[in-house]
Amino acid sequence: MSGKQLSFVLFIFALLCATQIALIVSQIDKARVQLSNSSPGGLNFLLQTDSIFDEFRHTLSTYVQSSVNADPTPQQTEQYKKQFEMVWSALNVFSLKNPGKNTPLPQLAPLLKDANDFLEKTDPLISSNTPLTIEAAQSIYENTRQISERVHAVGHQYFILSSQQRDELNHRMDTLYRGFWFFGFLLFATAAISTYTLIRANRRSRFLVEESNKTHARLSEVVTELRSGKLERKAKDSFLAAASHDLRQPLHALGLFLGSLEKHVLPAGRPTMQKAQQSASVLTNLFSSLLDLSRLDAGVVKVFKKDFALQPLLQTLEQAFSSTAAEHNIRLVFDSVDATIRTDRVLLDRMLRNLIENAIIHSNGNELKISTRTENSNLLVDIEDDGKGIPNQEHHAIFSEYYQIGNPERDRSKGLGLGLSIVNRLSELLHTSLKIQSNVNQGCKFTLTIPLGRIESITPPTPAANNLLSQDAIDAVIAVIDDERDIREGMEIMLGDQGYATITADSDTELIAILNESDILPDLLITDYRLRENHRGDEAIFNVRKATNKTIPAIIITGDTSPKRVLEASKSGFRLMHKPAAPADLLDAIKQLLLARQRVSD
């Protein structure tokens, strides 16, 4: 039943209940009046009156009989006088409290009148000092008999009447009884329906509250997303992913070509060549930061916290930035305490790099001071410049992507404006607090809070790992799968320059065919992630491994920056590199894998 129908039924029931109550009350009132009228007093009164009349007549008849023989004694006269008084009294009350008071009996009025006449007429005779004559006594006797009979008849009428009234009362009581049952049922039904409705309403409202809570949560989520620019970021991510793949391919190829061209350029062309390489490296850097952001958003960056000394890290930074700082006429001051901290070393390094780089490029100051201090169980790292500062209202905005103060012409040599936004994501990822204190022309101070670590937990770096990178090129056959001819050629030239034998193919099937034909087994496999006809790099590797029946080490190079794709590619478990990969990085990775393979086969 719907809520409306239920309410209607409830309303009808309530109406019925009210009617029923009104009915019952009126019936009860009638019964009450009837009960008070049909009191047993009336009947007893009739009985008394009858008996008084009898007594009087008996006294008179005795008087008449005794008067025939002798004079009446004073006792006898006293007797009938007293009896007459009582008759008077009885008739007095009878006229007041007559049985037909509420349901008038037709005989009553003439009876009362006659009785009154009789009393008035008889009184002088009775009250007189001379005793009653026999005739007078007989006449009074006769009158009394008549009155008495009429009173008796009225009494009988009253009896009949009260019987009827009693029946009526019984009937009324029956009605009341049934009415009460019906009323009780109605009341019960109403209560039951009300309870049911209440429970339903309660359940419904609880459901609605839950729903509204959910909606509220979702709304606030969306609002937060909107506020934090997450939605914007998502849209950007997908745009970047789509656009950058196409940009990366040529950039990647450009890097490879430039790398291999370097040796063949005449001395006169060297400066131009270097400029070209610089440009390529700036471009590569920009793409790398874009990609970093995508990777951070995809959540593929894993945090490995460990205890380590801060000092070496800062020293490396000092060395790395000394020349850049000199270029920008900024004095770098490192003033740090020797402390052990616990966080992800690589990510912290990235954060500090970005912050320092940002200060060098954008502050326009004279000095950049990196200092540390301990507070409670934390180490605070201050990166403080004395430059133009950041207006208060911009403090929040500088962490947004592509946001740059004072770069309206968007000079790309000053970067894309991603540095601080990467710092911000990293600080969230590391759960370190990043505070900014700055005002216009008063410099800018970023403060990082890093938990202190325990010095005894530091694991010394393995010497083998360091040696690995310093090895020279190794004799090896490298197979390259890429659906772009430019890349294949670039790779071939570059790898050839390094002394590697190269086999290139545009798909895994082609490669397998070549391998079968020439009966060569490659030592390493490099493949693009996104291949022709929706093939993926990891599938290609899998197929080649299956065909050669050998677990060939492999590198996947991907141009995808979309978080989903990056995540997918990283899940494949192969060494993953991003386009455009700098030739040096690629060669490093190749060396590492080949060495590892050697060690396994040793």
Partner 1 sequence: MKKKFALLQKSTLLFLLTFLPVAHAQQLASPTGDVLLRITGNITTTNNGDSAEFDLAMLEAMTQTEFTTSTPWTDNPTLFTGVEVTRLLKAVGAGSTQIRAKALDKYWFDADTKNFANVPAIVAYKKDGNYMRIRDQGPLWIMLPFDDYPEALTETNKNICVWQLLEIVIL
Q: Return residues touching partner 1 (CB under 8 A).
A: 39-41, 44, 48, 51-52, 82, 85-86, 88-90, 92-93, 96-97
Residue 379 pairs in a beta bridge with 374, 450
Cβ nearer to partner 1, comparing 87 with 555? 87
Residue 95: what are its φ and ψ, rounded to 5°? -70, -25
Rounded Cα distance, 170 and 515, in Å: 116
Please identify, using beta-carbon distances, which residue of 45 and 63 lies nearer to partner 1: 45
Minimum CB separation from partner 1 for residue 164, in Å?
A: 21
CB nearer to partner 1: give 124 or 460: 124
Choice between 78 and 588, CB closer to partner 1: 78
Neighbours of 399 (CB within 10 A): 18
**Contact status, residue 563 vs residue 235, Cβ threshold 8 Å:** no
Q: Report how far Cα 307 is from the mean position of its chain's Cα atoms.
A: 40
Q: How far is the CB of 210 from partner 1 (least distance, A)?
A: 59
φ, ψ of residue 106 in degrees (nearest 5): -60, -30
Find the angle CA(336)-CA(338)-CA(342) to the nearest 5 degrees: 105
Q: Report the relative pairing of strands 340-343 and 306-309 from DSSP bridges.
A: antiparallel
Q: Supply the minimum distance, in Å, between the C-beta of residue 115 and partner 1.
A: 13
Of 41 and 496, which CB lies nearer to partner 1 in the complex structure?
A: 41
Nearer to partner 1, 39 or 315 (CB): 39
Kindly state the smallest distance separating residue 74's Cβ from partner 1, in Å: 16
Min dist. Cβ of residue 18 to partner 1 (A) = 30
Element (H, E) at 286: helix 270-298
Q: Which CB, 98 or 558, lies closer to partner 1?
A: 98
Q: Burial-class residue 271 by CB neighbours within 10 Å (0-12, 13-18, 19+).
A: exposed
d(CA 373, CA 65): 146
50 φ, ψ to 5°? -55, -50
Between 89 and 170, whose beta carbon lies closer to partner 1?
89
Q: How far is the CB of 82 from partner 1 (least distance, A)?
A: 7
Could you check whether the bond before residue 580 is cis, i.e. omega within 30 degrees of 0? Answer: yes
> Please, which residue, 39 or 457, has the CB nearer to partner 1?
39
CB of 70 to partner 1, least distance (A): 27
Distance of CA 428 to the CA centre of its chain: 25
Q: Give 402-458 as a DSSP string.
A: T--TT-TT--GGG--S-HHHHHHHHHHHHT-EEEEEE-TTS-EEEEEEEEB--GGGP
3-state helix, strand, coil in the chain (%, to 5): 65, 10, 20
What is the closest distance, in whole angstroms, from the C-beta atom of residue 90 to partner 1 in the complex?
Answer: 7
For the CB of residue 80, give the shortest distance to partner 1 in the complex, in Å.
13
